[in-house]
């Protein structure tokens, strides 16, 4: 094992980050930069691909500069999933803004396909539901809306992919068009049992197969980049939530984690078994290493940290997440206020594209503190819905590992443990998404012989035990469900 570091690139929904992580799991250097969110219409969310590339490259360069003489052993990439870019193979320039995973503009397309009876095919082959959340309908929309795009795609002039593919293309100077199995599994175009792009699904969504990248293992050879140093190998790639599972050392069937970033994502390792949910949860690929696929069951919350960002940026009633936590702790409860953050619809288990957010139960005495507390509580309530759905599928975890920016809030994690009625566990390093990308790259570069060898990098920070009486918990959950029913359209 060398004394080098892994340069982990974390391209997220609201910011780009880079971290240099030692093979002991310690962060050696880092940089982070936010980029603009674009909201052209209600329910539409876009990113400028050049802003993504510019901020990701700049943070990586800053991190490398701070490393000094430390050698980089490999690059790892993790990314916001489902978000898609279509670009010109010759110039590398995108033909349209990236359409973000939160975007709901293609709801009419997926609803029509569902009405025509196509959801069983999509679910059987991809583990997903028919929803605009996933990449397929977004790619098709771009091809239809950009003049001449379909003709150019047929001529082989265009490439498409999730953000990891776009970054790999830029990092390698256009030499490599590739993705990993976890990102491919989120497109609704990839057969996760057979491990290949599916001709029937590509035809259904009208996505030419020549647009799509080569699919590799999560720890594999993704080419070399000369941007941050001579011939640095890219050896690990995974979608952010799968990377977080790796960073949480969730290598055994039954291990479960929940990450709270822009959204909230609960992922349960199901081992070699692809579990079919009857509760509208998702079957997906957890990771693929050495040709062996590990599957997962996932529940997706569309808005968690972005709810707090909305309070900060749009309502301008808090300074930051820490301020929201202080306000929440300053009162005993929300006095009946609920914030249902369906800004771009509701995710699992509802999958309601047309639902929109609401603040319910406001009274003359309601304050900023009540709204801030309701916003934080919504992350716990939505997690409870996911665990309830998992229980219906026969899985009832008694411990939940959590990570992401919101997991730094002790008050929130205690409330979450109370509402879930189970133990909530936080690691010392809550940036497990970046750590997971680094671990995969280290495995791909031969620095670790296997994922299991990296399990020791996970270290406990704190455990939270439920203390809320069951009657109080049930009353609060019932009130939350009533609030959600008020915003649902289906």
Q: Are 307 and 341 in contact (CB under 8 A)?
A: yes
Peptide bond into 388 cis (omega under 30): no
Contacts 24+ apart (CB under 8 A), 65-70: 66/20, 66/29, 66/30, 66/31, 67/5, 67/20, 67/28, 67/29, 70/3, 70/4, 70/5, 70/20, 70/28
Gap between the Cα atoms of 488 and 379, Å rounded: 17
Residue 376 has a pLDDT of 95
Residue 490 has a pLDDT of 55
CATH of the domain spanning 5-239, picked from 3.90.550.10, 3.30.420.40, 3.30.70.2340, 1.10.460.10 = 3.30.420.40
Residue 3 has a pLDDT of 66
Gap between the Cα atoms of 59 and 144, Å rounded: 34
DSSP 52-84: HHHHHHHHHHHHHHHHTTPPEEEEEEEE-SS-E
Gap between the Cα atoms of 382 and 385, Å rounded: 5
Q: What angle do CA 42, 346, 337 make, to 5 degrees?
A: 95
Residue 1 has a pLDDT of 41
- In this structure, the number of other CB atoms found within 10 A of the CB of residue 355 comes to 23
Strand partners, 71: none
Helix (H) or strand (E) run with residue 191 in it: strand 190-191
Gap between the Cα atoms of 28 and 21, Å rounded: 6
Dihedral, CA atoms, 251, 256, 259, 265, nearest 10 degrees? 110
| Mean pLDDT per 10-residue segment, the chain (490 residues) | 81 94 92 95 94 97 90 95 96 97 93 95 94 95 97 96 98 97 97 96 97 98 91 96 95 93 91 89 95 94 90 92 91 94 89 89 94 95 94 90 92 96 94 94 94 91 96 95 87
Residue 384 has a pLDDT of 96
* Domain ranges for the chain: 5-239
Gap between the Cα atoms of 256 and 380, Å rounded: 16
What's the pTM value of the predicted model, to 2 decimals?
Answer: 0.90
């Amino acid at each position: 094992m060398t004394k080098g570091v892994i340069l982990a690139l974390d391209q997220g929904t609201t910011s780009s980050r880079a971290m240099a992580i030692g093979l002991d799991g310690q962060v050696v250097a880092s940089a982070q930069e936010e980029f603009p969110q674009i909201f052209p219409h209600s329910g539409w969310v876009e990113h400028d691909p050049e802003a993504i590339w510019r901020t990701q490259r700049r943070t990586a360069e800053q991190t490398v500069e701070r490393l000094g003489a430390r050698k980089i052993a490999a690059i790892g990439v993790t990314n916001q999933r489902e978000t898609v870019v279509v670009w010109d193979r010759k110039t590398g320039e995108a033909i349209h803004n990236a359409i973000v995973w939160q975007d709901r503009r293609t709801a009419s397309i997926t609803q029509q396909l569902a009405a025509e009876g196509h959801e069983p095919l999509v679910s059987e082959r991809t583990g997903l539901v028919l929803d605009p959340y996933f990449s397929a309908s977004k790619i098709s929309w771009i091809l239809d809306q950009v003049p001449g795009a379909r003709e150019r795609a047929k001529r082989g002039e265009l490439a498409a992919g999730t953000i990891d593919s776009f970054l790999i293309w830029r990092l390698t100077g256009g030499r490599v068009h590739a993705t990993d199995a976890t990102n491919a599994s989120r497109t609704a175009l990839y057969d996760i049992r057979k491990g290949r792009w599916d001709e029937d699904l590509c035809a259904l969504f009208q996505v030419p197969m020549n647009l799509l990248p080569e699919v590799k293992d999560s720890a594999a050879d993704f080419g070399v980049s000369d941007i941050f140093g001579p011939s640095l190998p890219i050896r690990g790639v995974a979608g952010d939530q799968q990377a977080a599972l790796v960073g949480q050392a969730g290598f055994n069937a039954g291990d479960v984690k929940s990450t709270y970033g822009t959204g909230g994502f609960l992922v349960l390792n199901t081992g070699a078994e692809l579990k079919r949910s009857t509760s509208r949860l998702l079957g997906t690929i957890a990771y693929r290493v050495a040709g062996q696929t590990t599957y997962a069951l996932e529940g997706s919350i569309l808005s968690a940290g972005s709810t707090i960002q909305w309070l900060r940026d749009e309502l301008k009633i808090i300074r930051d997440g820490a301020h929201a936590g202080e306000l929440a702790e300053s009162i005993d409860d929300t006095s009946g206020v609920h914030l249902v953050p369906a800004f771009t619809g509701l995710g699992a288990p509802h999958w309601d594209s047309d639902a929109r957010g609401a603040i319910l139960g406001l009274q003359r005495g309601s304050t900023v503190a009540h709204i801030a507390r309701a916003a934080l509580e919504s992350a716990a309530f939505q997690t409870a819905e996911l665990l309830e759905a998992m229980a219906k599928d026969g899985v009832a975890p008694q411990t939940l590992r959590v990570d992401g920016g919101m997991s730094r809030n002790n008050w929130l994690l205690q409330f979450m443990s109370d509402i879930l009625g189970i133990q909530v566990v936080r690691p010392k390093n809550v940036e497990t998404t970046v750590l997971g990308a680094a671990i995969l790259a280290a495995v791909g570069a031969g620095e670790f012989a296997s994922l299991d060898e990296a399990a020791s990098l996970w270290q406990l920070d704190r455990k939270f035990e439920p203390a809320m009486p069951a009657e109080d918990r049930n009353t609060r959950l019932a009130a939350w469900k009533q609030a959600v029913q008020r915003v649902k359209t289906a």
